[in-house]
Amino acid sequence: MSSFNAVRVRADIPALTRHINGRPITYLDSGASSLPPRSVIEAMDEYYRLRHANVHRGVYQTANEATDAYEGARAAVAQFLNAPGGAEGVVFTKNCTEAFNLLAKSWGVANLKDGDVVLLSEMEHHANIVPWFQLRESIALDIRFIPVTDDYELDLSNIQELLQGVKLLSLTAMSNVLGTINPVKDLAALAHAHGALVAIDASQSVGHMPTNLVDLDIDFMMFSGHKMLGPTGIGVFWTRPEILATMPPFLGGGGMIADVRTDGYTPATGFTRFEAGTPMIAEAVGLHAAIRYLEGLGLDNVHAHDQSLTVDAISRINHQFSGRVRIIGPTAHAQRGGVLSLDVEGVHPHDIAQVLDEIGVCVRPGHHCAKPLMRRFGLAATARASFGPYSLTLDTDVLLEGLQRAITFFG
Amino acid sequence: MSSFNAVRVRADIPALTRHINGRPITYLDSGASSLPPRSVIEAMDEYYRLRHANVHRGVYQTANEATDAYEGARAAVAQFLNAPGGAEGVVFTKNCTEAFNLLAKSWGVANLKDGDVVLLSEMEHHANIVPWFQLRESIALDIRFIPVTDDYELDLSNIQELLQGVKLLSLTAMSNVLGTINPVKDLAALAHAHGALVAIDASQSVGHMPTNLVDLDIDFMMFSGHKMLGPTGIGVFWTRPEILATMPPFLGGGGMIADVRTDGYTPATGFTRFEAGTPMIAEAVGLHAAIRYLEGLGLDNVHAHDQSLTVDAISRINHQFSGRVRIIGPTAHAQRGGVLSLDVEGVHPHDIAQVLDEIGVCVRPGHHCAKPLMRRFGLAATARASFGPYSLTLDTDVLLEGLQRAITFFG
Amino acid sequence: MSNLEELYKEIILDHYRTPRNRGELPPPASKTEGFNPLCGDELTVYLDVTDGVVSDIKITGHGCSISQASSSLMSVAVKGKTLAEVSEVLSKFKNMMTLEGEVVDLNDPSNREVLRSLGELAALQGVAKFPVRIKCATLAWNTLSQGLEEN
Amino acid sequence: MSNLEELYKEIILDHYRTPRNRGELPPPASKTEGFNPLCGDELTVYLDVTDGVVSDIKITGHGCSISQASSSLMSVAVKGKTLAEVSEVLSKFKNMMTLEGEVVDLNDPSNREVLRSLGELAALQGVAKFPVRIKCATLAWNTLSQGLEEN
Ligand SMILES: Cc1ncc(COP(=O)(O)O)c(C=O)c1O
Ligand SMILES: Cc1ncc(COP(=O)(O)O)c(C=O)c1O
């Protein structure tokens, strides 16, 4: 971890200079959205100040520069993921959610039929649930859920049976509620052995640990820029170029066509087919800068940093509030990310978050877009603290101070 | 026009300080994408530096600020358009193209059936054509086109007949190729009298002339932020709240739900139903700043400015290159916007654009995502120059210099 | 008084810790469910309306201190009241809440009058300073409105 | 030499103004269509291949000076050549074009050799400096490739 220094990262994040209610901000909501470093903000700023133009069809210099910037971002994403087939399989979307809709409504519509099984898990985000329910309105899909154990992990005891007849396993790499990191590579191999394709929701993992698509050997991946130090308004859908080539168009309009007549149209080939309309150019530039920044930190370092903060926070919470504060997520081992869902006996997550706000601590109360998981554990909400590469044990100190206040306040 | 001064506007646009091949940039591609003023860039910058957080579910201060900024942008859009029903009918999309897909695949799927007629025009952008062809793959729609006259206007001689059985008239307010401004209000009244609803593509008009939805009395409007001095990655879909309430969900995921269970989901109501996933927060902030900036200029002033530049450019082109350079668009009257499609005898638009680039002039060669219109006039491409509020007659001077060069060069 | 103390007045904490009128009512009492999709708060309001009077009210559900206290305070405020009185208190309460984000100017005599007439309910006035919490405070009241409409 | 003159060399302008081998060939000549969706350029390549030799070639279509000149130059370069020779010139040309954006280093003897062997075609080398125009220059060649494959 020699090259990684969270204090130095912190100095790169303008939003961490904020003071809230007289206290420096303690940002513990990176699981919802991360704070971009100066280099990301400045890259977009510079783009708008110098070279903004619409992409792809220009001949003049700034249009070429904008196109190079946009396509350069695509190449950077491919390299960042070590994507088989390179940039050809990278489609830019507005967020991870659109990427899942593209999966369900393009690949899914073309490849799934009545009775086919899609296997999800009980710890999925709504982004990886609702599009499948929507698809079921036209195709009689059998949507199954891998259960979650009382230890907050996938219950794989029945996995062979669950995988019978499965066409697609669509699974999160890391739960945004529990912090659980799932055994993606092993499950992908198992699913492939059953003839299924594998889609991975990397929203929580891609900015926090290394991703290597060649090694994982999966078929689809989707995530958002704003959870990996990048801007809002951009997400990524990745698939193998061979699969992409077979997918029918999704959103229609300019840019995704080869020809349009008054009697019909011919779609373009490759990723172009899936990028209708003027794309998120500045956002791609910002995402590229975020990737550069993360690569500079080293994703291994970021992951180790998350884990050390998490292990420390768990042991301090257990020590200081034993019995009173329950951590909804695995606590016993290192196979988890820096997401801590808290359940404080007798104090509602909203009230926790409110008391924490008073001293500048940002945590998120709610169901975290994972209602099936909340139901599984009989909870309506948790208060979730989550770390970023700029987080310090100092942040945990203030979190604990706030939890103590809330407990005292509500008695 | 007392308050409007294009030279002062120009000073607000950082990208206009660029030099290309030793010449100051002559940006004549606002029809493809406009250049944002400093205030737009800085608003987004400030957002990321001070208050970035995910919206809607936070309790802490910056989450509230981000939510207020996002919802404030929605309110500003509604006010800008004088939208009946206020902010309730405003849905943010990634671009105008997504907005058209929302129209076709939510409203269209729910309201159109086999044999129903959708009436477009021959001068539509692919964004208002391809989604209807896509919809026709599942509903046997009758898609008709209002023809365009040799004078580059809608041919309304047969409009009564064309409107028979029409469920939706979907039309551009201003052609991005011809500059033609269509009589939206009159056509909307006529279409309503035939029982049709009316959707208007305001991509080219909304940043260039006043829009008043109460006065226009239409049912849907869609446009992009990046053509109205705003950022990339955001668009607007507007409809009356009563209509919105009847539209089924489109993209599915977090944020657009009221409940999700393992056996199904319940969508949220209102605009929330159509905003799946983390929205374009910074982009909404940028769009809001663009609206403020445009309101400061006065849209009447912007329109008058466009028109005076256009009238001047047309007369100078006709005078200097009579016979050699043809303007593909109306030339005789003032009912047009600042878009000039040029067809230079014996010189291909690509070559024009290349020669113009040599002296820093940015024009766009190509079919401008309006292939049916190009076919109508037997053209493969035009070289399009288009004005923004920062354009000056000086820009026309350099354009003419470049056209002369191109003609000399290619003989 | 800190912001927090203004939000969580003693009365609110008291009603949160010891909610009044908790429980269910058997039919023919009406039963109305309300929920806040953003935070997962859920509650059910049981209403017995006899001869134009809310003769009994009971509430179940879960939520934050504000939503719980607000529903408890609401139950006390409407129990035994005529429908006309209930509708008056409902509109007064909603008025107080829609001052979104603004601090109620207590020097304005008409505001003082409204707050006084709200009695204990006025304790919830601090919520208006926290726009995201307004939905918590109004959940019970919206559910009550709906229940009365259906009645 | 200005950028423009480097792109639009005299040979290119000449082939643009006076395109060689313009027109159609009747069957049994093969007919292959190519188009560039981004800019609308379209062309059709007619090929007569007899005894392993491109005995005749004709081209119709429209496009910019680069695509027109390139197709004309291409027709001259392949007419009367054996399939083996054609495939060699094809790959040399594509190599020259894929130096995207880089200026060919003419001091490098192997580059000089390739360019010399390309003859007039080397005039198109300036296009590689203008990445968006590469598609214009390669359209005819890609269509030729496709036509030969189908033959
Ligand atoms: C008239 C018109 N409609 C629709 C669009 C599509 O806008 P976008 O590409 O931002 O989705 C454009 C711009 O390209 C346009 O000019
Ligand atoms: C695991 C997971 N999947 C999907 C999403 C959806 O991402 P977005 O809201 O950016 O589309 C999120 C974040 O909210 C997430 O945490």
Cα D35 from Cα C26, distance rounded (Å): 75
B to C contact (≥3 Cβ pairs closer than 8 Å): yes
Residue D105 has what pLDDT? 62
- In percent, the amount of chain B with pLDDT more than 70 equals 99
Active site residue A369: yes
Residue C105 has what pLDDT? 62
Asked if the Cβ–Cβ distance from B258 to C37 is below 8 Å, we say yes
Of B78, B313, B369, B407, which one is the catalytic site residue?
B369
Rounded to 5°, angle at Cα D101 from D95 and D103: 75
* DSSP annotation of B127: G
Contact B208, B301 (CB under 8 A): no
- CATH 3.40.640.10 domain range(s) in chain A: 41-296
Cα A319 from Cα A312, distance rounded (Å): 11
In a mutagenesis test of the C interface, which of B54, B57, B65 is the best target, namely the one with the most C β-carbons within 10 Å? B57
Asked if the Cβ–Cβ distance from C39 to A365 is below 8 Å, we say yes
Of C35, C38, C133, nearest to B56 by CB-CB distance is: C38
Ligand 1 probe mutation, B97, B236, B373, most atoms within 8 A of CB: B97
pLDDT, mean of residues C125-151: 89
Ligand 1 centroid – CA B227 distance (Å):
8
Q: What is the mean pLDDT of chain D?
A: 86
Asked if the Cβ–Cβ distance from C132 to B258 is below 8 Å, we say no
Residue D3 has what pLDDT? 77
Q: Fold for C2-150, please state it.
A: Sufe protein. Chain: A (3.90.1010)
Cα A226 from Cα D34, distance rounded (Å): 41
Which of 3.90.1150.10, 3.30.70.100, 1.10.3720.10, 3.40.50.720 is the CATH number of A6-30+299-410? 3.90.1150.10
Asked if the Cβ–Cβ distance from A56 to D133 is below 8 Å, we say no
Q: What is the mean pLDDT of chain B?
A: 96
Of D37, D39, D132, nearest to A258 by CB-CB distance is: D37
Residue C92 has what pLDDT? 86
Closest-CA residue of B relative to C131 is B64
pLDDT, mean of residues B339-364: 96
Which range among A97-106, A221-230, D20-29, D33-42 shows the weakest confidence by mean pLDDT? Answer: D33-42
How do residues B60-71 score in pLDDT, each as one tens digit? 999 999 999 999
How do residues C64-113 score in pLDDT, each as one tens digit? 999 999 999 999 999 999 999 999 999 888 888 875 445 556 667 766 66
- The better pLDDT of the pair C5, D25 is held by D25
Residue B1 has what pLDDT? 43
Show residues of chain B in contact with D7, CB under 8 Å: 354
How do residues D113-131 score in pLDDT, each as one tens digit? 666 777 888 888 888 888 8
Ligand number nearest CA of A180 is 2
Rg (CA), chain B: 22
Asked if the Cβ–Cβ distance from D133 to A59 is below 8 Å, we say yes
Q: What is the CATH number of domain A41-296?
A: 3.40.640.10
Ligand 2 centroid – CA A182 distance (Å):
16
Block means of pLDDT (10 residues each) for chain A, 411 residues, are 83 97 97 98 98 90 96 98 97 98 98 98 98 98 98 97 97 98 98 98 98 98 98 98 98 94 95 98 98 98 96 96 94 86 95 96 96 95 97 98 95 79
Residue C125 has what pLDDT? 85
How do residues D43-68 score in pLDDT, each as one tens digit? 999 999 999 999 999 999 999 999 99
**CA proximity to B394, closest of B353, B360, B352, B364:** B360
| Lining residues, ligand 2, CB within 6 Å | A 95-97, 125, 127, 172, 176, 201, 203-204, 224, 369; B 254, 277-278
pLDDT, mean of residues B392-399: 98
Cα B24 from Cα B17, distance rounded (Å): 7
Q: B94 and chain A: CB distance < 8 Å anywhere? A: yes
Cα A364 from Cα A34, distance rounded (Å): 13
Cα A232 from Cα B76, distance rounded (Å): 20
Show residues of chain A in contact with B361, CB under 8 Å: 60
Cα B284 from Cα B236, distance rounded (Å): 10
Q: Using the Cα atoms of residue B261, residue A235, residue B107 and residue A261 in order, give the sign of their dihedral.
A: negative
Residue with tokens 């059910």: C44
Cα A98 from Cα B356, distance rounded (Å): 39
pLDDT, mean of residues B289-305: 97
Of A25, A123, A162, A369, which one is the catalytic site residue?
A369
Ligand 1 probe mutation, B30, B95, B96, B221, most atoms within 8 A of CB: B96
**Does D20 have pLDDT greater than 70?**
yes
Tell me the pLDDT band of C122, cut-offs 50, 70 and 90: confident
Q: What is the edge-to-edge ordering of all strands in the sheet holding A235-239?
A: A90-93, A235-239, A220-224, A197-201, A166-172, A117-121, A142-146
- C30-34: Cβ within 8 A, 24+ apart: C30/C147, C30/C150, C30/C151, C31/C147, C32/C143, C32/C144, C32/C146, C32/C147, C32/C150, C33/C143, C34/C61, C34/C139, C34/C140, C34/C142, C34/C143, C34/C146
* DSSP annotation of B274: G
CA of A46 to nearest chain B CA: how many angstroms apart? 9
Q: A358 and chain C: CB distance < 8 Å anywhere? A: yes
Maximum separation of any 2 CA atoms in chain B, in Å: 71
Q: What is the pTM of this model?
A: 0.95
Cα C138 from Cα C91, distance rounded (Å): 11
- CATH 3.90.1150.10 domain range(s) in chain A: 6-30+299-410
Ligand 1 centroid – CA B390 distance (Å):
20
Residue A333 has what pLDDT? 67
Give me the total of CB pairs closer than 8 Å, taking one residue from chain A and one from chain C. Answer: 51
